[in-house]
Structure 1
Amino acid sequence: MVALLLVLLWWLQGLRRQTQLALGPDAMRLQAQLLQGLQALDVRLQQLERSSQSTQMTVAKSEGALDRVTQHVQTQLAQTQQDALAARREQAVALASFREEVAQLALRLTGDSQQARAALAQSSAEQAVHVQQRFEALAETTRGTLDSLKGDIQHQLTHMSTNMGAALKDQLGSNGEQLRHQFAVLQDAVSQQLAALTQGQQTTAEQLRATLNERLATIQSDNALKLDEMRRTVDEKLHATLEQRLGESFKLVSDRLEQVHKGLGEMQTLAGSVGDLKRVMTNVKSRGTWGELQLGSIIDNVLTPEQYARNVKTVPDSDELVEFAIRLPGRNDDQPVWLPIDAKYPVEHYQRLQDAQDSADRVGIVAAGNAFETSIRGEARKIASKYVAPPHTTDFAVMYLPSEGLFAEVLRRPGLVEALQNEHRIVITGPANLAAMLSSLQMGFKTLAIEKRSSEVWGVLGQVKTEFGKFGEVVEATRKSIDAAARKFDQVGVRTRAIQRHLRNVQELPNEAGQEQPLFPATSPGGDQSASEDEE
């Protein structure tokens, strides 16, 4: 196309020189108009060249877009592979989502390719139509310009000579024919170039579409293969992981069920125990029995069986039996003085008081507190009337409350403990201070036992003193006997030494009869007596 433009410019320059030589000054205006037309034609050709370049750039951009799309697909594929590797622990939902994304991406790429091809074809068609329209307009403009130039030249040549007019008319006619012919040739060449360019663009678009289809098919096949491989890998790993997790889960569930079963058994046992305790605490007789057992346990741990008794009739001519009584020494050892201890557990009023305090009911607290205090006073009055009878008992009795909370509530009531001691001679105790009181009584018992046994100790010491005097006399007699025996032993030693002196000069005599002779012959009774006297 550039060569064609150069040839056209060269031809136009030659035509301009011929016209200048033939026409002179009047032809300069025609030359200027022709130059303007040529410049306009040059500008249009430049625009056509730029349009062709823009078309080529569009094709290049399409190829770049295809490359970018391919790279994007590859990037998406790599990202998809990474996502698939990262999502191995996911299940079939992730695979379905991934397949949908790949399908949407393929559809999007196909749509983009179709849109690019359609846009390229539309742009090429529009460019061809636009060039055709511009060339037609240029031809019309040129023809109009030539016609106007022809009229002007004819009008000017009218005033000139007829010969010059005819020659100029002939020359202009030939020039017009040549110009129209050249413009027709130029139009044909431009049309051919545009047709070739359009054909080339269509061919390029077809090749681009074929290449894009091949690449998309390759990508789809690769994606299908990789997706199948990934699906098999994920299925295998999911199957193995699922079996392992299910095994662990079933084992864990079995262990937990066993623990739950064991816990339910323990809870049932605990519920039974709580139910038994509730039945015990709700039954008045059971509460009393529980208080008696607790009181008996404390007394058994502190005192000996000889120091207390159970179910004692402390008041003569009365059938009332106190639960426990401490045996205290009286004026007569055969008749002890009893200290009555009775267990009471008025829990109903105490529970009502606790409920009122929890609900912050001031009226209920006052009413329940008064009822609780009245019940304590009534129990103290019963104990004093039934079990206290001096001098058979002490002038006071002990009320045992088996709950520290109950005992603390009694102590918290202002003046209640002092009133019970002064009016009814009743001492209130709980589990802790009862053990302390019994320990104090135990120490008193030990001190009393020591005082009681002191006279016996003095009698035993007197007997020991008498026997020790007799023992001294026996020891003195024994000493004298030992001294006499010592003198006898001294005399025996003297006689032994005398005999040894006599035996030093005596030789051994032969035994004639083969019998041994006695060392000392038998002596008469008188001789024995003399010998014994010598020994003495």
Structure 2
Amino acid sequence: MTDPYLFAIAGLCALVALLIIVLIFVSRRPASDELAHQLILQSRQDVQMQIGQLREELQSLQNQSNQTLVNAVARMGEQQTQSLADIDKRILQISQNNEKRLDAVNQSLAHGLANLQTSNEKKLDQMRQVVDEKLHATLEKRLGESFRQVSQHLEAVQRGLGEMQSLANGVGDLKRVLTNVKSRGTWGEVQLEALLDDVMTPEQFDKNVATRPNSQQRVEFALRLPGHGDAPVWLPIDAKFPQEDYLRMQAAIEEADAGAVNKARASLLKSIREFAKDITSKYVEPPHTTDFAIMFLPTEGLYAEILRSPGVVESLQTDYRIVIAGPVTLTAILNSLRIGFKTLAIEQRTSEVWQVLAGVKSEFGKFADILEKVKKQLNTASNTLEQTGVRTRAMERRLHEVETFSEPVAEDDQLFSVDEIIE
């Protein structure tokens, strides 16, 4: 269908090209050339005639192509209609076959499920019986164990309640101790004594010491420092615990009440200053004591609160000659003093050590002389042993000659006498 169109178009293009060539050729000739003019007219007529024929042929070809297309479309429509009808028939057959197969599968599944359900029911009944029997036995066993454990736990709880009651009584006793001024002082003294016993030796401190001459006031503890002569110099240590002021301040801090905190802190610092003044006036008396004393605070929290207040520690040292110490700080101070005591004892024994070293030096010189004499005697003994070896070898040679029945030896070769061997 496409080839006729191509041929027609190609022929038309060839004619047009020929006509153009003729026109160009004629245009170059003189206008009076009659033959050329006739040739052109004849060519034009031929071209028009051929163009008309080409148009008719193109029209005929187009009509044929259209008819061919219509016929082809009609045939394709009929073929598609027939194919669709065949497909519908096949789909219908497949659907019918699938329905039959599904019915068969459903029947088979229903029959299998019925059998499976019956079998499962039987097995479930058997399992239920076994489980009931085991569960009954297990429950009886577990319940017995649980009741026994519950009884044991109840006994333990009863004992714990008794211990809690004892602990509550102990806490109550501790609270009574902490709420009583005298008891709080005793608790601070006990803690201070425990620290002194752990760090110092019994000869380095004393209890209830009258540090000031002709005074009835006695400090709880005092360290015995070396002084001039046999008289010691005492370092007073007194335990203080202003619990009410400290607890009021902690309660105000928990409530975030800045005004109450400042008021409680001021009251606490006032109590500390009064304690410092009291310790200085009662127990500090140079040269019988050091020119300062130590105030022991039994808790690190109270000690940290005093350190947190700016200028308080310096004020106590300057105004009252009091050093504040918590448990850790006091332990460090006592360790430093103990090392100082050891250093002082070593210095006091230095002269004795030098005398001992001088005696050792003299004895060592004598020991060196004795070693020299022993060396000489050992050299003499060594020489004697060498001579004895020479004589022994000579005797062995003579004895060997006797054993082999050698001829009589000359007079010069006779055996050495015993005296010669000894010499």
* TM-score, normalising length: structure 1: 0.44
CA separation in 2, counterparts of 1:314 and 1:387? 6
Pairs within 5 Å for 1:136-285: 257-258=154-155, 260-285=157-182
Aligned residue among 350, 369, 394 for 1:473: 369
CA separation in 2, counterparts of 1:263 and 1:491? 95
Structure 2 match to 1:525: none
Structure 2 match to 1:485: 381
Residue 361 of structure 1 deviates from its aligned partner by: 5.9
Structure 1 match to 2:360: 464
CA separation in 2, counterparts of 1:495 and 1:253? 103
Whether 1:435 and 2:331 are equivalent positions in the alignment is: yes
Whichever residue aligns with residue 272 of structure 2, its letter is: I
Residue 406 of structure 1 deviates from its aligned partner by: 1.8
Whether 1:303 and 2:200 are equivalent positions in the alignment is: yes
Whether 1:292 and 2:292 are equivalent positions in the alignment is: no
CA separation in 2, counterparts of 1:495 and 1:255? 99
Distance 1:250 1:505, change over 3 A: closer
Pairs within 5 Å for 1:256-405: 257-258=154-155, 260-332=157-229, 334-358=230-254, 365-405=261-301
Residue 276 of structure 1 deviates from its aligned partner by: 1.3
Q: C-alpha deviations, 1:296-351, integer Å up to 9, x for none?
A: 2222223333433333333333343322222333344x333332211111212323
CA separation in 1, counterparts of 2:395 and 2:150? 113
Question: In terms of Rg, which structure is larger?
Answer: 1
Residue 504 of structure 1 deviates from its aligned partner by: 5.2
Whichever residue aligns with residue 166 of structure 2, its letter is: T
Pairs within 5 Å for 1:393-432: 393-432=289-328
CA separation in 1, counterparts of 2:155 and 2:275? 51
Distance 1:423 1:498, change over 3 A: same
Residue 370 of structure 1 deviates from its aligned partner by: 3.6
Whichever residue aligns with residue 289 of structure 1, its letter is: T
Pairs within 5 Å for 1:106-117: none
RMSD over equivalenced CA pairs, Å: 3.8
Residue 534 of structure 1 deviates from its aligned partner by: 7.7
342-351 or 444-453, larger mean C-alpha shift:
444-453
| Identity score, percent | 57
CA separation in 2, counterparts of 1:256 and 1:486? 90
CA separation in 2, counterparts of 1:273 and 1:482? 82
Residue 399 of structure 1 deviates from its aligned partner by: 0.4
Q: How many residue pairs get matched?
A: 275
Residue 271 of structure 1 deviates from its aligned partner by: 0.9
Whichever residue aligns with residue 316 of structure 1, its letter is: P
CA separation in 1, counterparts of 2:400 and 2:151? 113
Q: C-alpha deviations, 1:497-523, integer Å up to 9, x for none?
A: 55556555668xxxxxxxxxxxxxxxx
Say if 2:245 and 2:268, in contact at 8 Å, map to a contact too. yes
Whichever residue aligns with residue 443 of structure 1, its letter is: I
CA separation in 1, counterparts of 2:367 and 2:149? 89
- Could you tell me which runs of 5 or more consecutive residues in structure 2 were left unpaired when the two chains were aligned: 1-131, 404-416
CA separation in 2, counterparts of 1:377 and 1:501? 109
Distance 1:363 1:487, change over 3 A: closer
Distance 1:496 1:381, change over 3 A: same
Residue 477 of structure 1 deviates from its aligned partner by: 1.4
Distance 1:501 1:359, change over 3 A: closer
CA separation in 1, counterparts of 2:251 and 2:394? 116
Q: C-alpha deviations, 1:361-414, integer Å up to 9, x for none?
A: 666555543432222122112211222222232211110010122222222334
* TM-score, normalising length: structure 2: 0.55
Say if 2:191 and 2:298, in contact at 8 Å, map to a contact too. yes
CA separation in 1, counterparts of 2:147 and 2:420? 119
CA separation in 2, counterparts of 1:379 and 1:399? 8
Whichever residue aligns with residue 191 of structure 2, its letter is: Q
Residue 483 of structure 1 deviates from its aligned partner by: 2.5
Residue 436 of structure 1 deviates from its aligned partner by: 2.2
